[in-house]
Structure 1
Amino acid sequence: MCTNISVTVPAAGAAKGGSGWFAVSAANVGFDHAVGSRFDHALLLDFVDPERGPSARVAVELDLETGRALLAALEQVIDAAERSGAPV
């Protein structure tokens, strides 16, 4: 069953793909059929630069447990970074 669950957010950063580093201007987050992993459905993360086309894409498929752990780790690191006083 297709879920069609998908959200796109603007992003600022860089990713390393098959042809090297490229700017990332969007992140797609979804939950649907997996393509490259063993899961029937997976949490889908795509870091992209839509202006450069499909070659400027890094895709990740995770199970939901890993997604929850990643979310918790991101919150922990973001909180620590904000408290550190390092320039952002």
Structure 2
Amino acid sequence: MCTYATVCERVDGSAKGPGGAWFHVTDATVYYDHPVHAMAEHSLNIDLADPSRGPGARVAVELTRESAERLVGAITAALASAPDGV
């Protein structure tokens, strides 16, 4: 079943892309649907990109549901461990 549920968010950060070069990312697109490459029926797909630099300025991740849930927990724990304002 395709969900077509897509969430887009503005971000400010960096990603390492093709060829090992770092680039600025401005957009995050997150959706739960069929993966392109991951060996799973469905996956949480995350694209980090700078659309102004064309299609090459993009990093894509496809995670199983369980892996995505663990990643959310890890992100929450890492942010909670940092003092406010840091």
Pair in the same fold by TM > 0.5: yes
- Structure 1 CA distance for aligned equivalents of residues 68 and 2 of structure 2: 19
CA RMSD of aligned residues (A): 1.3
Give the structure-2-normalised TM-score: 0.91
- Structure 1 CA distance for aligned equivalents of residues 70 and 2 of structure 2: 24
- Kindly provide the amino acid, as one letter, of the partner of residue 72 in structure 1: G
Shift, 1:41, TM fit: 1.2
Give the structure-1-normalised TM-score: 0.89
Partner of 2:70: 69
- Structure 2 CA distance for aligned equivalents of residues 54 and 31 of structure 1: 21
1:58 correspondence with 2:41: no
Return structure 1 stretches of 4+ with deviation > 2 angstroms: none
- Structure 2 CA distance for aligned equivalents of residues 31 and 77 of structure 1: 24
- Compare the two structures and name the one with the higher strand fraction: 1
Instruction: Give the percent of matched residue pairs that are identical in Structure 1 and Structure 2.
Output: 42
Partner of 1:16: 16
- Structure 2 CA distance for aligned equivalents of residues 12 and 59 of structure 1: 16
- Structure 1 CA distance for aligned equivalents of residues 7 and 49 of structure 2: 13
- In the alignment, structure 2 segments of 5+ residues that lack a partner are none
- Kindly provide the amino acid, as one letter, of the partner of residue 42 in structure 1: S
The number of equivalent residue pairs is 85
